[in-house]
Amino acid sequence: MDDVKNLLGMSDLDGDRLGLLLEMAAKVKANPDEYRRALTGRSIGLFFMKQSVRTWVSCDVAAIELGVHPVVIRNDQTGLGIRETPEDVGRVLERYLDLLGMRVFEHSDLERIAAVVSVPVINLLSDLEHPCQAVADLQTLAEHVTPQRATVAYVGDGNNVCHSLLQAVAMAGASMRVASPPGYAPDPAIVERGRRFGEVIVTEDPSEAVAGADAVYTDVWTSMGQEAEAAERRRALAPYRVNLALFEQAKPDAIFMHCLPAHRGEEVTDEVIEHPRSRVFDQAENRLHSFKAILLQALS
């Protein structure tokens, strides 16, 4: 399905396509009425195996404002991989829908579905990547810094958000630094993929990552599905909490970023997430505008 505009991970984009997405996201944010009903008559599925607030609401509203009919599908109704194989679910849904947006646990489920359907498959989050979040993050960065000259520091668990972010930042021409404890670093293969585009530094020292950065980013230490590891994760990641002392090692005008939800007092303190230079709610808003851009690119 080489001609289908999937977005399973950042490797489905190149610098040009990412740039076009960001341009479109900025345009729809600035002039939403210009794009209202631009995709009238189309229908998409929004499939959820995991809980969601920002993804569900932003994707639903983005679709409606573009004239797309969104169908929200919960896995307790579908039984992906239990009641039916991922392939069978995908082949049924493509008969009804123009695009499948899927929030899953296992990235392989997305790959299995994308391999057999002829409609775009968009990763709304998997255990490997969160590309829609990364597009919104770059849109937010572009609103506050110059991405091509920026340094972004990510501190904490090298998880799915980190994976997509480091590739996106490198694609945009910026410098990425990741600080994680031993055993929690991002996947080396994804780090190498990011390095094909730009500078990606991985360290165990949070201060080394944050020093002089334009943006400081973190995420929860325990993602959905990792609850049994929560106590061990808190122990390992405690030195990577973004507090005011760490944030102040970045540039004086640096911004703070977090994809939310935040576990205040764990990965970030209240004084940082509520800091005047915190942009976490700008990021949340930009999930709406960036998903409109993703739909326009995939369905136009």
Candidate list 42, 233, 275, 287, residue with the active-site label: 287
Candidate list 130, 163, 193, 275, residue with the active-site label: 130
Please confirm, yes or no, whether 132 is among the known catalytic residues. no
Q: What is the pLDDT along the chain (300 residues), one digit of tens a residue?
A: 456 799 999 999 999 999 999 999 999 999 999 999 999 999 999 999 988 999 999 999 999 999 999 999 998 888 888 889 999 999 999 999 999 999 999 999 999 999 999 999 999 999 999 999 999 999 999 999 987 789 999 999 999 999 999 999 999 999 999 999 999 999 999 999 999 999 999 999 999 999 999 999 999 998 877 788 889 999 999 999 999 999 999 999 999 999 999 999 999 999 999 999 999 999 999 999 999 999 999 998
User: What is the distance between the alpha carbons of residues 287 and 291, in angstroms, rounded to a whole number?
Assistant: 6
User: Which pLDDT value is given to residue 3?
Assistant: 62
CA distances from 270 to 213, 234, 282 (A): 20, 17, 17
Give all domains of the chain, ordered by start, each with its CATH number. 10-130+287-299 (3.40.50.1370), 131-283 (3.40.50.1370)
Please confirm, yes or no, whether 133 is among the known catalytic residues. yes
User: Which pLDDT value is given to residue 224?
Assistant: 72
Please confirm, yes or no, whether 103 is among the known catalytic residues. yes
Candidate list 219, 241, 258, 283, residue with the active-site label: 219
Q: What is the pLDDT of residues 114-132, one digit of tens each?
A: 999 999 999 999 999 999 9
Q: Which of 221, 233, 213, 100 is nearest to 161 (CA)?
A: 221
This prediction's pTM: 0.96
**CB-CB contact of 211 with 149 (8 Å):** no
Please confirm, yes or no, whether 139 is among the known catalytic residues. no
* Six-digit token string for 105: 């646990």
